């Protein structure tokens, strides 16, 4: 597997984990479990930010968009926005 294929697979995985993690957060009501899950999402966020910083010049715009969707706001803003969106449903 070449470097670009590895990056693509990693970014695709990060994007999927981010979206699945946000969906799962909606169902977690136990406070300690919720805090653990938010820590997990923060790890995904940090990994996405690091990849964006290190590799943004070499990535296809679609992959940049996937990372950008995760890191478009700081982590706390992302979680607060998600809470507002899920409450509005």
Q: Is 8 a domain residue?
A: yes
Q: Which residue has the higher pLDDT, 85 or 50?
A: 50
Q: Is 19 a domain residue?
A: no
Determine phi and psi for 58, rounding to 5 degrees.
-100, -5
Q: Is 80 a domain residue?
A: yes
How many domains, in total, are found in the chain?
A: 1
The answer to whether 81 and 70 are in contact (CB under 8 A) is: no
Domain that holds residue 42: 3-14+33-88
User: Can you tell me the mean pLDDT for 19-44?
Assistant: 94
Q: Is 62 a domain residue?
A: yes
The answer to whether 51 and 67 are in contact (CB under 8 A) is: yes
Task: Using alpha carbons, select from 21, 25, 42 the residue that is nearest to residue 34.
Answer: 25
Q: Is 75 a domain residue?
A: yes
Using pLDDT thresholds of 50, 70 and 90, give the confidence band for residue 85. Answer: low
Helix ranges (DSSP H) in the chain: 3-27, 31-55, 61-71, 75-88
Taking the complete model, does pTM exceed 0.95, yes or no? no
Q: Is 21 a domain residue?
A: no
Q: Is 7 a domain residue?
A: yes
CA atoms within a 13 Å half-sphere pointing along the CA-CB vector of 60: 9
């Amino acid at each position: 597997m070449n470097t670009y294929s590895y990056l693509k697979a990693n970014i695709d995985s990060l994007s999927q984990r981010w979206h699945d993690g946000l969906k799962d957060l909606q169902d977690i009501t136990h406070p300690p479990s919720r805090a653990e899950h938010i820590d997990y999402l923060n790890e995904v966020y940090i990994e996405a930010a690091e990849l964006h910083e290190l590799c943004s010049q070499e990535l296809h715009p679609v992959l940049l968009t996937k990372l950008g969707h995760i890191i478009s706001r700081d982590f706390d803003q992302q979680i607060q926005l998600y809470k507002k969106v899920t409450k509005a449903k």
